[in-house]
């Protein structure tokens, strides 16, 4: 079976990535709705499928166990906006989960919004058309990255920040090119 050349040469180049966080679900009093993060780096999560050995008639055969194994965290590194808007919203989200002293709070709080929200990752083509989307469900901030600020002799560089979220599961969504 041969692959048509048009399909074999259609490579993913100049792809852009966005993460969309529904901050209105975290804090209902915010005037901000969905906030987009222009991602600098992003890794799709790996997935391992468990297996077990089954012995039959003197032979041993490895079979899948229908169990997914793997780390259920995803890290987003994004380009900071000049007003640090996304950083401040992430900081507020993290502080709704824990106090500065480290004393934990309940994971959900109906009076003050929720701490677990879906995050949508969107891959864009070089022409900024959506290619596909992944929705990470029940996300909450697990790690809030540090930022290093310094003066450099060269041209001004763009500030990046990263945060890691834990999630319960994720699913791919097709985006129609209508």
Q: Does residue 170 form part of some domain? A: yes
- Going by their DSSP bridges, the two strands 34-42 and 169-174 should be labelled as unpaired
pLDDT in tens, 12-41: 555 688 899 988 887 777 777 788 898 988
pTM for the structure as a whole: 0.74
Q: Does residue 73 form part of some domain? A: yes
Spatial distance between the Cα atoms of 78 and 36, rounded to a whole number of angstroms: 10
Q: Does residue 100 form part of some domain? A: yes
Spatial distance between the Cα atoms of 4 and 1, rounded to a whole number of angstroms: 10
Looking at residue 1, what is its pLDDT?
Answer: 47
Show the tokens assigned to 109.
């709080």
Spatial distance between the Cα atoms of 171 and 70, rounded to a whole number of angstroms: 15
Here the CATH number for the domain that contains residue 36 is 2.30.110
Q: Does residue 108 form part of some domain? A: yes
pLDDT in tens, 92-143: 888 877 765 555 555 554 444 567 889 999 988 878 888 889 999 999 999 9
Domain count for the chain: 1
Q: Does residue 6 form part of some domain? A: no
* Residues spanned by the domain of 117: 17-43+53-174
Q: Does residue 4 form part of some domain? A: no
């Amino acid at each position: 079976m041969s692959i048509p050349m048009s399909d074999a040469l259609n490579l993913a180049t100049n792809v852009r990535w966005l993460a969309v966080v529904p901050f209105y679900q975290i804090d209902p009093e915010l005037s901000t709705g969905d906030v987009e993060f222009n991602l600098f780096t992003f890794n799709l999560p790996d997935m391992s499928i468990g297996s077990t050995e089954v012995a039959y008639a003197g032979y041993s055969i490895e079979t899948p166990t229908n169990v997914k194994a793997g780390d259920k965290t995803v890290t987003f590194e994004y380009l900071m906006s000049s007003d640090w808007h996304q950083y401040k919203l992430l900081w507020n989200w993290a502080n709704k989960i824990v106090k500065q002293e480290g004393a934990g709070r309940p994971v959900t709080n109906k009076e003050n919004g929720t701490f677990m929200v879906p995050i949508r990752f969107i891959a864009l083509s070089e022409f900024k058309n959506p290619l596909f989307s992944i929705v990470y469900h029940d996300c909450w901030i697990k790690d809030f990255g540090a930022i290093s600020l310094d003066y450099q002799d060269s041209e001004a560089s763009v500030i990046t920040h990263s945060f890691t979220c834990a999630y319960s599961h994720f699913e791919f969504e097709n985006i129609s090119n209508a």
